[in-house]
Amino acid sequence: SKITLTVIKADVGGFVGHTDVHPELLEIAKKHLKEKGKMLIDFHVTRVGDDIELIMTHREGIDNEEVHKLAWDALWSCGEKAKELKLYGAGQDLLKDSFSGNIKGLGPGVAEMEIEERKSEPVIIFMADKTEPGAWNLPLYKMFADPFNTVGLAIDPNMHQGFKFEVYDMIGHKKIIFETPEDIYDMLVFIGATGRYCIRRVYTKNNEIAAVSSTQRMNFMAGKYIGKDDPVLIVRCQNGLPAVGEALEPFANPYLVAGWMRGSHNGPMIPVSLEDAVPTRFDGPPRVCALGFQLAEGKLIGPQDFFKDVAFDNAREKALEIADYIRKMGPFEPHRLPLEELEYTTLPHVVEKLQGRWEE
């Protein structure tokens, strides 16, 4: 029978500020999944920056109420501890008071796929902090559509036909399927606009799921967009899909993403080991971690902490130089995001205060 790989993540309080997760919270999450997760085959709990990541396997399919409730309750218990320890932004991503059928829309991020486990099933869980789901557009494009990144697109007969990309319009709340390589010029018009159009899934041309991201409808509270939803991404590898090294290769160039301080700045995405996933400088720069697992009848064999590799040292060094450079711009665009994309804004107050002082 089919295996479902579910990743659910949330920030339920930072330790200290927005930099890390308190170890007691991770223990609570592990204990909860161990004791209450009877339906799980296996699980792995970790964190990247201030985000708790619950990686779970089971046979219940996607959007399963029990699995979602299990994750919700685990995160809720972590949130209670966060309140007790007065961690920063305790309960931040738990937007509702109670669970109602599906965790989507309640605050946490979700990426899940139901698969027929192959003879060998290597998967990578990418997890980022201090950025948004659109941050996956560029690397997903490179992994699945750019032969200068993924040579398999040119030389592997099982990849040569290309892939299908499901792109979600986060403002219009609608989706479209682009076929690559045929539609790449059309697709790039949209996915280059990372604040609005997000690649939600990638399929083979035979409609096998290859990748899924935690792209949900944007969270609005009282009409205001809250949170850049530090995203996760699941990528299956090898055998007609990108090799593990092809899936990791896009991160060798620290491209710019939106997020960083107060969710309101562009900055370089630094690939780091879990150990180094503690964003402090100007609350960043944005981090990405990649954990590899081999699935074996749903068991998570791993993890392998890929960005530990010294081969990503140059990417890190380059990212730090970019960070030095762009930080000098202070509150000026394009370091600071345009007014309409800020997570925090004083604009309405300042406009009100200056009423009568503007002249024609």
Q: Residues in the site for Mg ion, rule: CB under 5 A?
A: 11, 14, 18, 49-51, 89, 129, 228, 230
Size of the site for ligand 13P (CB under 6 A): 14
249 binds, among ligand 13P, Mg ion, none (CB under 5 to 8 A by kind): none
Cβ-proximal residues to 159 (8 Å cutoff; 6+ apart), any chain: 150, 152, 153, 240, 241, 242
The helix-helix angle for 137-145 and 184-191 (nearest 10°) equals 160
Q: What is the DSSP string of 161-228?
A: T-EEEEEEETTTTEEEEEEETTTHHHHHHHHT-TTTEEEEEEEETT--EEEEE------EETTEE---
Binding mask 98-117 for ligand 13P (x = CB under 6 A): --------------------
Cβ closer to Mg ion: 49 or 250?
Answer: 49
Instruction: Based on the shown chain and the rule CB under 6 A, indicate whether residue 230 belongs to the binding site for ligand 13P.
Output: yes
H or E element in which residue 298 lies: none
Is 146 one of the binding residues for ligand 13P (CB under 6 A)? no
- State the catalytic residue, choosing from 156, 225, 308, 309: 225
Q: Can 142 be counted among the known catalytic residues?
A: no
Q: Name which of residues 242 to 281 contact ligand 13P (CB under 6 A).
A: 243, 245, 261-263
- Name the token pair of 189: 């018009």
Of Mg ion, ligand 13P, none, which one sits near residue 261, judging by CB under 5 to 8 A according to partner kind? ligand 13P
Question: Is residue 228 annotated as part of the catalytic site, yes or no?
Answer: yes
Is the peptide bond preceding residue 181 cis, with omega within 30 degrees of 0?
A: yes
Structure tokens at 83: 């309140």
Q: What are phi and psi of 213, to 5 degrees?
A: -115, 165
CA distance 345 to 219: 17
Partner from ligand 13P, Mg ion, none binding residue 262, C-beta < 5-8 Å depending on class: ligand 13P
Q: Which helix (H) or strand (E) holds 276?
A: none
Site string for ligand 13P, 13-52 (x = CB under 6 A): -----x------------------------------xx--
| Nearest approach, Cβ of residue 322 and Mg ion (Å) | 20
Would you say 40 or 106 has its CB closer to ligand 13P? 106
d(CA 288, CA 316): 11
Q: Which positions touch ligand 13P (CB under 6 A)?
A: 11, 18, 49-50, 129-130, 228, 230, 243, 245, 261-263, 283
